[in-house]
């Protein structure tokens, strides 16, 4: 044995004969924790014995007689490979007439004079010893002359009409049938009551040997070989039984337990016959091993209860039957170990964005530790609704985003301690090709450029390489690769193909391709290429029953050689007017022998094809009618399904007229019960596709055959297919229905399966009906709609999701077949526990004062239990939108109104409000409100605490896209609805906004300011002087259109309100309620032209001093004066325009 290992080395060359070491070996490995043993290893020396001496007499036969040349090789180990050769070491030719059997004998179905020779020699090759043994030559003489006469087939091997064959599961099944007869018989194979497996069936030795690889128990059955020649048919049935050496269903696995825990070893195997299970501990049969009070053996299972450290051992499970055995070792290790994390600390994981991220946490401990993951230094445990926590400790982020970057901590805990480990995750931007190469066509000798621009994460370094037809670029100087381009100079024909740009980083790769086509410079003048002209002069000769010779003359190829001819045919008897593809021949051929079908009236035409395309078809040939024959195929898609419980509907796909091979097409329909001894019942029907058998038992398997026949004869015997008579409703309900409530919204249902005989049909599955009888909290007596869940197949358990917490439910289970549902099981009642409530239905803040706010709310629409209390949290928000300290208040569950006092004036508060049950806290609802400062400026129609107001309505011109809202209350939420009405009806949309807080009223009355009084006096004096000048000029006969000039320069801010367009003005004097003249000049930069600025703030009545809320809604300042007062603080207000001032004065 090699030192330091368990390998046993036997050197036969230096340590004696091989026979000395023949026997069964087994290896045992042992330490203080137990002993493991290996499988038995059988050592046998190879043998290649000589042939037994025997005298072989020459054989003399008449022409046509059968012959078997025996080989009978010596028995060696391993068995030899047999082959027949002559004295020149040339293999003897084999055929359907002459072939070698599986036993090595050489079989002649009938002999011919050329079979005469004196050196038929059988050789046996022993591969393991690399020797070949030779049998004495056999002499055969065939007397030529009159044949012994034609005869029907008989089997040379196997003998009789039936035989048996056993094979082991997983091996290759080889079945052989060799027949003699004259003419030479042909062998066919079929499986009774079934079909041969398509992917595992092979035919050898001229179809005389049937091989099925990887056989299983399903391959057991009766196989029939059929030998047929012109004089008859003979059958032989081989009953195949597939046995099985033991194979694992569940091998025992190593078990790690901590002291005091429970566990089990399971050893399950199958085979044919059923294997026997036996247990060993440390290589000793468990019956004689030291007793262990924590261990109990229950057949194929060892159960450990309250295990102790001294129970550590290696257990062996042995499963054996007459064909072999299985042996498996399982180490039961009783350990008490605190958790250890084996993943390296601070491991860095880099992942491309929007891809899964897997963070490893390899751990060990006994008892098995529980694993939790945390993100960041103070994060809470990561939940499985966002992350996937695998049993091996790995944390999976299904779609990693940029905000997934950070430090993740894995914590392993058991009752002996705790261990943790941190890993780092970085999310990188994906690599993209932002400029892809494009398809190019270049002339030979030219230059072409492909572009490939790559965008990538700045921390990753990409490598870009180019491929041609998925291979490396040619190593030539004509190919130049730089940062973003591939340049190919002096292009040749071989450069054509697909070029691919591949960008790789350490984390991902992308590629983009484009095709390059190389064309020759256009010759001058260019030849004209076209499709060929149609062939002509079609002629039929050499007329036979199933073939005819067709000849034709090609048309002009139009400068492109003809590559092939396509022959098409028309069947004027069955498919008149339709042309079908028959065959193709090379373009150099103008004559072909066509293989035809019986009973078809053929016409032929020919199409020529070149590189440009196909020609028009030729003229049709003369017609040729072939003779009728029996059908050579049977209908396909044969099925047997019942439409009623007492019938069997047999359907099939009929043969086409072309496939009928003759007149009078009919079908012979045969059936019998699969498991009965009844003979076949047959009926001949017309050319239809269905036959109904009445009076059948319910859901019984039938064997069905449909055979075609016509006036000439029958088609070959068809294979039987299995069907079933009609189904009926199941008779029995599932029993022993159990309900396990998993949580407040999920329950698991188990039931016992219904016996197959009671299903009376194909099992479709089981259907659960469940409904809520009442809610525990609301005590509602109203029955809700029943819900249905269907579980396919033979499942005996299922989950009921989406249940309502704190509710009573009933359910029953029914089995379903193809006919429908069976009876319902007795109703089972179960109750879901309490859950967390939904958010409160509403939250309103009313009655804002200087230092208090009142909250009103409606309870949650889904309490999911008994409410225990409400939690109100609130915090102030300063002018820079920063949040202040959070205040937490508990409110009794029976309250729906609460007033907060001692608040700060003119302060915005944010509120968080949620309900609680014994199961925990529900979803929260948030709201914001502002305490007031000065209520003096609030219009009388909008009072605090007024409650719900009626909708206010304004009609706006359809061409407008905005409207100013005035008279709003500061710090109040408003709902706005905009509707449009037209020919198609009325449509609307809604939005909610909140006005800003009220500002302290510190405006100064401009009318009391000295500078304003002085300015007005100066303006009045200037106007007086102007009027005097105008009066003087008018008296002198001059005309001065003052009024027109004033109209031309009128400020749009003083235009009156018009009902038709919904605009607002500041004045209502009727003298100026007329439009500006169209000939007026462009307004100065201090006026606003409404025609050119539809969205000017002038339309809102507040000029440039209007305010906008954070959400874009407009807020106006309240004032009791028409003039604009200066803004508070030291901000300077804009001086009024002299023109505006003058117009206002006038």
Note the pLDDT tens digit of each residue in 892-914.
999 999 999 989 888 999 999 99
User: 650 near 691, Cβ under 8 Å?
Assistant: yes
Q: What is the pLDDT, as a whole number, of residue 868? A: 92
The SS3 assignment for 525 reads coil
Region of 679 (left: φ > 0; alpha: ψ -120 to 50; beta: rest) is: beta
Q: What is the pLDDT of residue 996?
A: 72
Query: Could you read off the pLDDT of 504-550 as tens digits, one per residue?
Result: 999 999 999 999 999 987 666 667 889 999 999 999 999 888 899 99
Could you tell me which residue, 1042 or 966, shows the higher pLDDT? Answer: 966
Cα separation, 481 vs 433, whole angstroms: 16
Mean residue pLDDT across the chain? 83
Candidates 854, 1011, 859; CA nearest to 944 is 854
pLDDT at 1126 over 90: no
Check if the beta carbon of residue 760 is closer than 8 Å to that of residue 646.
no
Q: If pLDDT is split at 50, 70 and 90, which confidence band does 23 have?
A: confident
The DSSP secondary-structure symbol of 77 reads: B
Specify the pLDDT at position 238. Answer: 95
Give the C-alpha separation, 435 to 1042, whole Å. 68
Among 41, 40, 128, 121, residue whose Cα is nearest residue 84: 121
pLDDT of 525 reads: 67
| Reported confidence tier of residue 1089, pLDDT bands at 50, 70, 90 | very low
Note whether 706 and 680 are within 8 A (CB): no
The angle, 0 to 180 degrees and rounded to 10, between the axes of the packed helices 1138-1145 and 1010-1035 is: 70
Ranges 569-578, 595-604, 1076-1085: which has the least confidence: 1076-1085
**DSSP H/E element including 332:** strand 324-334
Cβ–Cβ < 8 Å for 594, 540: no
CA 74, CA 87: separation in Å to the nearest integer?
21
Instruction: Tell me the β-bridge partners of 235.
Output: 226
| Most confident region among 257-261, 819-823, 997-1001 by mean pLDDT | 819-823
Strands (E), 624-756: 624-625, 636-641, 647-653, 666-673, 681-685, 690-694, 701-709, 721-724, 735-743, 746-752
Task: Examine residue 183 and say whether the peptide bond preceding it is cis (omega within 30 degrees of 0).
Answer: yes
DSSP string, 139-196: EEEEE-SS----EEEEEEES-SSEEEEEEETTS-EEEE-EEEEESPPEEEEEETTS--
Q: Give residue 1110's pLDDT band: very low, low, confident or very high (50, 70, 90).
A: very low
First vs last Cα of the chain: how many Å apart? 126
Q: Which of 75-79, 453-457, 786-790, 836-840 has the lowest mean pLDDT?
A: 75-79
DSSP 821: B
Whole-number Å distance between alpha carbons of 538 and 61: 54
Kindly tell me if the per-residue pLDDT of 1108 is higher than 80. no
How many CB atoms are closer than 10 A to CB 1118? 16
Residue of 991, 1005, 1006, 962 whose CA lies nearest to 1106: 962
Question: H helices within 382-436, ranges in order?
Answer: none
- What pLDDT score was predicted for residue 947? 44
- Specify the residue for token string 């991902």: 508
Can you give the pLDDT at residue 96?
92
> Out of 42-46, 321-325, 343-347, 739-743, which region has the weakest mean confidence (pLDDT)?
42-46
Q: Which residue has the higher pLDDT, 50 or 1070?
A: 50
- Name every residue whose Cβ is closer than 8 Å to that of residue 1093 and which is 6 or more positions away in sequence: none
**Residue 1066: band (very low, low, confident or very high) from pLDDT cuts 50, 70, 90:** very low
Enter the tokens of residue 476. Answer: 């030539």
- With cut-offs at 50, 70 and 90, classify the pLDDT of residue 1061: very low
Tokens of 59: 């054989």
Kindly indicate the confidence band of residue 422, based on its pLDDT and cuts at 50, 70 and 90: very high
More confident residue, 913 or 1126: 913
CA atoms within 13 A on the CB side of 730: 28
Q: Is the pLDDT of residue 948 over 60?
A: no
User: Could you give the 3-state DSSP secondary structure of residue 484?
Assistant: coil
Convert 700-738 to b/e letters by CB count within 10 Å (16 or more is b): bebbbbbbbbbebeebeebbbbebbbbbbbbeebbeebe
Segment 43-90, tens digit of pLDDT:
888 877 777 777 788 898 888 899 999 998 888 888 889 989 998 888
pLDDT at 1084: 36
pLDDT of residue 1137 exceeding 50: no
**Distance of alpha carbon 737 from alpha carbon 750, whole angstroms:** 6
Average pLDDT over residues 754-768: 92
Q: How many helices (H) and strands (E) does the chain have?
A: 4, 82
Band the pLDDT of 950: cuts 50, 70, 90.
Answer: low
| pLDDT higher than threshold 60 for residue 1075 | no
Inform me whether the pLDDT recorded for 1060 exceeds 50. no
pLDDT value of position 822 = 93
What secondary structure, in 3-state letters, does 192-207 show?
Answer: CCCCCCCCCEEEECCC
DSSP 309: G
Q: What is the pLDDT of residues 186-236, one digit of tens each?
A: 999 999 988 999 899 999 999 999 999 999 999 999 999 999 999 999 999
Percent of the residues in the chain that have a pLDDT greater than 90, as a whole number: 56
Q: Where are the alpha helices (DSSP H) in 689-793?
A: 756-759
**pTM exceeds 0.85:** no
Residue 666 or 144, more confident: 666
Helix (H) or strand (E) holding 473: none
Alpha helices for 953-1009 (secondary structure H)? none
- pLDDT at 770 exceeding the cut of 90: yes
Tokens representing residue 20 in the block:
């000395």
Per-residue confidence at 5, pLDDT binned at 50, 70, 90?
confident
Q: Which residues contact 802 (CB under 8 A, 6 or more apart)?
A: 745
**The predicted structure's pLDDT at residue 234:** 95
Question: What pLDDT does 1062 receive?
Answer: 39
Beta strands in 822-924 (DSSP E): 828-831, 840-846, 853-860, 869-877, 887-892, 897-900, 908-917, 920-921
Instruction: Identify the pLDDT of residue 1006.
Output: 63
Confidence category of residue 776, pLDDT binned at 50, 70, 90: low
Q: Which of 199-208, 787-796, 976-985 has the lowest mean pLDDT?
A: 976-985
- Percentage of the chain modeled with pLDDT above 70: 85
CA angle, 533 then 536 then 538, to 5°:
145
Q: Looking at residue 450, what is its pLDDT?
A: 94
DSSP state of 644: S
CA-closest candidate to residue 964, choices 1065, 1073, 894: 1065
β-bridge mates for residue 31, sequence order: 34
């Amino acid at each position: 044995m090699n030192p330091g290992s368990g390998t046993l080395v036997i050197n036969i060359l230096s340590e004696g004969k091989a026979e000395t070491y023949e026997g069964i070996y087994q290896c045992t490995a042992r330490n203080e924790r137990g002993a493991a043993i290996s499988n038995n290893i059988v050592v046998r020396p190879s043998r290649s014995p000589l042939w037994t001496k025997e005298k072989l007499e020459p054989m003399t036969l008449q022409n046509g007689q059968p012959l078997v040349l025996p080989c009978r090789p010596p028995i060696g180990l391993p068995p030899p490979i047999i082959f027949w050769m002559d004295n020149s070491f040339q293999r003897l030719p084999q055929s359907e007439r002459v072939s070698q059997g599986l036993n090595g004998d050489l079989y002649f179905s009938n002999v011919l004079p050329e079979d005469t020779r004196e050196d038929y020699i059988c050789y046996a090759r022993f591969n393991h010893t690399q020797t070949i043994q030779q049998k004495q030559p056999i002499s055969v003489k065939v007397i030529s002359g009159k044949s012994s006469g034609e005869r029907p087939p008989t089997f040379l091997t196997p003998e009789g009409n039936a035989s048996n064959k056993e094979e082991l599961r997983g091996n290759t099944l080889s079945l052989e049938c060799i027949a003699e007869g004259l003419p030479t018989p042909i062998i066919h194979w079929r499986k009774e009551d079934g079909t041969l497996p398509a992917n595992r069936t092979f035919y050898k030795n001229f179809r005389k040997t049937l091989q099925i690889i990887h056989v299983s128990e399903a391959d057991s059955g009766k196989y029939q070989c059929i030998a047929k020649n012109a004089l008859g048919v003979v059958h032989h049935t081989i009953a195949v039984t597939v046995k099985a050496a033991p194979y694992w269903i569940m091998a025992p696995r190593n078990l790690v337990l901590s002291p005091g825990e429970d566990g089990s070893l399971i050893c399950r195997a199958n085979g044919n016959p059923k294997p026997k299970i036996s247990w060993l501990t440390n290589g000793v049969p468990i019956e004689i091993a030291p007793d262990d009070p924590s261990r109990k053996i229950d057949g194929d299972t060892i159960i450990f209860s309250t295990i102790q450290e001294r129970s550590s051992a290696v257990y062996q499970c042995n499963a054996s039957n007459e064909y072999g055995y299985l042996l498996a070792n399982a180490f039961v290790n009783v350990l008490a170990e605190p958790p250890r994390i084996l993943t390296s600390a601070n491991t860095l994981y880099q992942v491309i964005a929007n891809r899964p991220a897997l963070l490893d946490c390899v751990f060990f401990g006994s008892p098995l530790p529980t694993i939790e993951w945390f993100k960041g230094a103070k994060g809470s445990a990561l939940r499985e609704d966002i992350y996937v926590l695998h049993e091996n400790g790995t944390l999976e982020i299904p779609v990693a985003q940029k905000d997934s970057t950070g430090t993740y901590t894995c914590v392993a805990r058991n009752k002996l301690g705790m261990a943790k480990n941190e890993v780092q995750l970085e999310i990188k931007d994906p690599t993209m090709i932002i400029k892809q190469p494009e398809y190019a066509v270049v002339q030979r000798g030219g230059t072409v450029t492909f572009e490939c621009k790559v965008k990538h994460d700045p921390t990753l370094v990409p490598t870009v390489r180019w491929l041609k037809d998925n291979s490396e670029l040619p190593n030539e100087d004509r190919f130049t690769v730089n940062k973003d381009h591939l340049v190919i100079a002096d292009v040749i024909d071989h450069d054509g193909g697909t070029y691919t740009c591949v960008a790789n980083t350490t984390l991902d790769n992308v590629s983009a391709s484009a095709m390059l086509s190389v064309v020759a410079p256009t010759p001058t003048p260019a030849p004209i290429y076209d499709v060929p002209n149609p062939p002509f002069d079609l002629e039929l000769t050499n007329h036979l029953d199933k073939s005819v010779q067709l000849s034709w003359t090609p048309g002009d190829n139009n400068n492109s050689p003809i590559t092939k001819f396509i022959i098409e045919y028309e069947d004027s008897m069955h498919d008149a007017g339709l042309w079908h593809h028959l065959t193709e021949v090379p373009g150099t051929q103008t004559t072909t022998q066509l293989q035809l079908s019986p009973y078809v009236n053929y016409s032929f035409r020919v199409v020529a094809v070149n590189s440009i395309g196909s020609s028009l078809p030729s003229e049709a040939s003369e017609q040729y009618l072939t003779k009728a024959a029996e059908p050579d195929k049977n209908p396909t898609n044969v099925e047997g399904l019942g439409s009623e419980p007492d019938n069997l509907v047999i359907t099939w796909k009929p043969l086409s007229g072309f496939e009928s091979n003759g007149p009078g097409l009919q079908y012979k329909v045969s059936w019998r019960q699969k498991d009965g001894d009844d003979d076949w019942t047959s009926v001949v029907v017309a050319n239809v596709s269905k036959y109904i058998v009445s009076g059948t038992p319910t859901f019984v398997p039938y064997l069905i055959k449909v055979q075609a026949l016509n006036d000439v004869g029958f088609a070959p015997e068809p294979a039987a297919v299995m069907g079933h008579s009609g189904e009926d409703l199941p008779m029995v309900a599932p029993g022993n229905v159990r309900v396990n409530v998993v949580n407040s919204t999920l329950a698991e249902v188990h039931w016992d399966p219904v016996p197959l005989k009671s299903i009376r049909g194909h099992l479709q599955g089981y259907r659960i009906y469940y409904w809520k009888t009442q809610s525990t909290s609301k005590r509602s007596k109203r029955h809700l709609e029943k819900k249905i869940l269907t579980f396919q197949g033979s499942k005996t358990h299922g989950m009921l999701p989406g249940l309502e917490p704190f509710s009573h439910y009933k359910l029953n289970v029914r089995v379903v077949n193809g006919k429908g549902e069976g009876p319902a099981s007795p109703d089972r009642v179960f109750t879901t526990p309490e859950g967390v409530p939904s958010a409160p239905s509403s939250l309103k803040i009313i009655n804002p004062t200087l230092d208090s706010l009142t909250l009103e709310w409606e309870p949650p629409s889904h309490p999911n239990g008994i409410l225990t209390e409400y939690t109100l949290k609130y915090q102030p928000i300063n002018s820079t939108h920063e949040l202040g300290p959070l205040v937490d208040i508990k409110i009794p569950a029976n309250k729906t109104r609460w007033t907060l006092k001692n608040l700060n004036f003119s302060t915005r508060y944010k509120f968080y409000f949620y309900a609680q049950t014994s199961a925990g806290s529900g979803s929260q609802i948030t709201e914001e409100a502002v305490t007031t400062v000065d209520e003096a400026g609030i219009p009388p129609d909008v009072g605090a605490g007024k409650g719900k107001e009626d909708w206010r309505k304004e009609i706006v011109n359809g061409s407008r896209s905005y409207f100013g809202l005035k008279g709003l209350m500061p710090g109040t939420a408003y709902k706005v609805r905009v509707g449009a009405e037209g020919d198609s009806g009325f449509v609307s949309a809604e939005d909610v906004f909140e006005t800003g807080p009220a500002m302290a009223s510190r405006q100064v009355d401009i009318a009391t300011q000295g500078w304003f009084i002085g300015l007005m006096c100066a303006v009045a004096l200037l106007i007086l002087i102007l009027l005097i000048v105008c009066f003087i000029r008018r008296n002198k006969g001059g005309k001065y259109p003052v009024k027109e000039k004033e109209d031309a320069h009128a400020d749009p801010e003083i235009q009156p309100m018009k009902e038709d367009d919904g605009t607002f003005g500041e004045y209502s004097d009727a003298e100026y309620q007329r439009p500006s003249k169209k000939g007026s000049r462009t307004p100065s930069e201090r006026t606003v032209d409404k025609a050119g600025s539809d969205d000017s703030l002038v339309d809102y009545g507040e000029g440039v001093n209007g305010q906008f809320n954070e959400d874009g809604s407009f807020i106006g300042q309240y004032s009791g004066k028409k003039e604009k007062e200066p803004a508070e603080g030291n901000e300077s207000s804009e001086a009024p325009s002299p023109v505006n001032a003058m117009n206002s004065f006038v």
